[in-house]
Amino acid sequence: MSSPLPGRASTQASSQLGGPEPLRLMAVHAHPDDESSKGAATCARYVSEGVEVLVVSCTGGERGSILNPKLADDPRVLRDIAQVRREEMAAAAAALGVQHEWLGFVDSGLPEGDPLPPLPDGCFALEPLHVAAEALVRVVRRFKPHVMTTYDENGGYPHPDHIMCHKVSMAAFDAAGDPDAYPGEGEPWTPLKLYYNTMSRARILAIHEHLLREKGESPFTEWMERWSEREERIVTTRVPVAEFFPQRDAALLAHATQIDPDGFWFAAGRDLEARLWPTEDFELARSRVALPALAEGEVESDLFAGVREHLAAGSAA
């Protein structure tokens, strides 16, 4: 279910020669395209700083709808959506500069209707948790991330694959460092922090209200109506990434079957977005390191806050 990770041999060699070990970030997502809409600019920023970044896609997105109307009747897309989405993911990873790995499970699709139809046999959301977690533990132990990102317990939104992604990520975060868990899947490795991607309501509201004032309409009206029905997540970390919005946009556009270039993703314009909300936001879910003290009302600006200090102290000991 996995393939060799590019770049690992050179990193290991560097460490053996006495060079500083690079920081490593693993972003775990349900489908190809999720990595480009959730935390993509953050990944690009850390790549630019020399951090090794690995995106893990739990499924291939095989059951995803064609969301770009310009490709709705494209014969190649209709004939082999799975291959098209693999190619899109490769292009997105190149745009962000990240490594990428498929976990190898099958997209569950998004059931719709009343009553909801059952999920298809063999899909990711129906996999036994220990089976899916073992696959991710194997990748964690090989890549050795210091920080992981994933979705909250609601999946960010209640897609069955997003909820399963949360469960699998949490299980792998807990099990990867336990020598008694999955003993045949590599040397134990203990990640130090885990974050949830957060689509901040305040961010969308700021853009929504600006568009209403300036243009009299906003593509986020329905979003805001849906948001009133769910609890706002706590934002603990805001990573400044405005200068990396171009890489994020290139990654989004690489997923041509999923992203309409004339759709809501680009409604605000990047100059406006950079001015209104120049960060990507996260919620710290787990930390095994002491966190730097913050003033009242302050939030983190670095996913590696506390990790850098912890590793520095360890190397000095």
pLDDT digits (tens, 9 = 90+) for 40-97: 999 999 999 999 999 999 999 999 999 999 999 999 999 999 999 999 999 999 999 9
1 band by pLDDT with thresholds 50, 70 and 90: very low
Establish if 180 belongs to a structural domain: yes
Inside any domain, residue 192: yes
**Per-residue confidence band for 317, with pLDDT thresholds at 50, 70 and 90:** low
- At residue 166, the pLDDT reads 98
Which are the contacts of 273, defined by CB distance < 8 A and separation ≥ 6? Answer: 207, 242, 245
Q: What is the mean pLDDT of residues 211-229?
A: 82
For 63, 100, 159, 233, the CA distances from 155, given in Å and listed in that order, are 18, 21, 7, 12
Q: What is the pLDDT of residue 16?
A: 31
Residue 262, domain member (yes or no): yes
pLDDT score at 268: 81
Angle at the Cα of 233 from the Cα atoms of 245 and 106, rounded to 5 degrees: 70
Which pLDDT value is given to residue 189?
98
Tell me what the mean pLDDT of segment 245-252 comes to: 97
pLDDT for res 149: 98
pLDDT number for residue 205: 87
pTM of the model: 0.91
* 55 and 100 Cβ atoms separated by less than 8 Å: yes
Question: For position 4, what pLDDT does the model report?
Answer: 35
Q: Is 161 annotated as a binding residue?
A: no
Residue 316 lies in a domain: no
- Least Cα distance to 32 among 258, 221, 193, 201 occurs for 258
Determine, yes or no, domain membership for 3. no
Q: Would you state the structure tokens that stand for residue 1, as one six-digit string? A: 């279910």
Give the CATH number for residue 171: 3.40.50.10320
**Mean per-residue pLDDT, 152-158:** 90
Q: What mean pLDDT is predicted for residues 278-289?
A: 97
- Is 162 assigned to a binding site? yes
Answer whether residue 2 shows pLDDT above 60: no
Cβ neighbours for 28, distance < 8 A, ≥ 6 positions apart: 56, 58, 136, 148, 149, 150, 165, 168, 169, 172
pLDDT in tens, 186-203: 999 999 999 999 988 888
Is residue 22 within 8 A of residue 52, CB to CB? The reply is yes
With H, G, I as helix, E, B as strand and everything else as coil, classify residue 101: strand
Residue 264, in any domain of the structure: yes
Q: Is the pLDDT of residue 5 over 80?
A: no
**How high is the pLDDT of residue 229?**
66
Give residue 8's pLDDT.
34
pLDDT tens-digit readout, 84-131: 999 999 999 999 999 999 999 999 999 888 888 999 999 999 999 999
166 assigned to a ligand binding site: no
CA 142, 143, 147, 152 torsion-angle sign: negative
User: Which residue segment(s) compose the domain that 267 sits in?
Assistant: 21-199+234-308
Task: Give the pLDDT confidence of 172-182 residue by residue, as tens digits.
Answer: 999 999 999 99
Q: Give yes or no for a contact between 152 and 192, defined as CB atoms under 8 angstroms apart.
A: no
Determine contact, residues 53/25, Cβ cutoff 8 Å: yes
Domain tally, the chain: 1
Task: Indicate whether 86 belongs to any domain.
Answer: yes
Instruction: Classify residue 229: in a domain, yes or no.
Output: no
pLDDT, tens only, 11-49:
333 333 334 689 999 999 999 999 999 999 999 999 999
Residue predicted with more confidence, 255 or 263: 255
User: Do 12 and 144 touch, CB atoms closer than 8 A?
Assistant: no
